[in-house]
Amino acid sequence: MAPWVDKLRTFPKERFLFGPSPVQRLPRLTAHLGGAQVWAKREDCNSGLAFGGNKVRKLEYVVADALLQDADTLVSIGGVQSNHTRAVTACAAATGLKAVTLQEAWVPYSPPLYDKTGNILLSRLMGGDVRLNSEGFHIGPKASLDVAIRELHEKGAKPYWIPAGASLHPLGALGFVDFVVELAEQETALGLFFDTIVVCSVTGSSHAGIVVGAVLEGKGRKIIGIDASGKPKNTKEQVTNIARNTLALLDPAASLPENAVVLDERFHAGIYGIPDEQTKAAMRLGAQLEAFITDPVYEGKSLAGLIHLVQSREISPTSKVLYVHLGGQPALNAYSDQF
């Protein structure tokens, strides 16, 4: 086993996943697009904790650290329909911890029941302390998080803060480095190699972790991030910083190649959290060809990117391309008026 994999294995980790997430061939979508062979790795099917998703994979490492520090309350932040805060609340419930989540007005969109259905409904059902506030979207640190932590300390709790998406947490990308190790084992069993991986990118640690895994394994995969933040300059900077910091954790001698972080900014629809017609068309195509369900905030936008890249032959027709389905479907009910 490579030294960097041995190092990864030294970090404490909870077991929230069923095991390796499935790798699924998408033959009808492949035939329709007429180019590269398209497969998906189904992070949306990775866990029994409140519909799973990429955030649960990340939280295996983050919650293990919280437990080592004797925390009793996980504190985190996201939009009203945040997949991440739903996953934090789920992992808290599964480990006997409490959860406080700050749900901010990241999306300028408020149809009836937007703050009462989807992800936020699940967080309330799991007993989370859900707190709505009006702060808008950006991917950096949040002052309101500091206020909540101070309040919990004053009440005698032992809070453990988790930044949005777990992305700026020092361990936030390790789950997706592990994703690459897991994928390599699945490729051996399938007799395949995915030369191109397409993944959605907003707060950035899923994207960064896959980049780090690909750099360390050294097989020449291309990782294409599809921006869904609407703020691609900030997102690319954050992905790059997370990747460098994670590389330093696993192999201090390694460096991030200049072209390792690729972020395509053509599919974010101009704003975080709102789908455009291209997004909705991609969602319908995946659903109608493969019963492949995506959401309007993240995966609909990255699926639109995949569709364009394959149809335009920007991804070679001889490629085997892996689309990383990060989850997010619980938010769909909150967007029913879009469909």
Report the distance separating Cα 153 and Cα 70, nearest Å: 14
- Note the Cα 17 to chain centre separation in Å: 15
Q: Which of 52, 226, 183, 194 is nearest to 122 (CA)?
A: 52
| Alpha-carbon separation of residue 226 from 13, 28, 205, 264, 305 (angstroms) | 28, 22, 13, 5, 6
Q: Amino acid identity, residue 194?
A: F
Q: Count other C-beta atoms under 10 Å from residue 34's C-beta.
A: 10
Report the distance separating Cα 179 and Cα 181, nearest Å: 6
Residue 82 is among the residues annotated as catalytic for this protein: yes
For 319, the token pair is 């490629």
Interacting residues of 124 by C-beta distance below 8 A, sequence separation 6+: 130
Candidates 82, 201, 205, 229; catalytic one: 82
Interacting residues of 221 by C-beta distance below 8 A, sequence separation 6+: 194, 195, 196, 197, 214
Contact of 242 with 204, CB cutoff 8 Å: yes
CA angle at 118 for the pair 88 and 292, rounded to the nearest 5°: 95
Active site members: 82
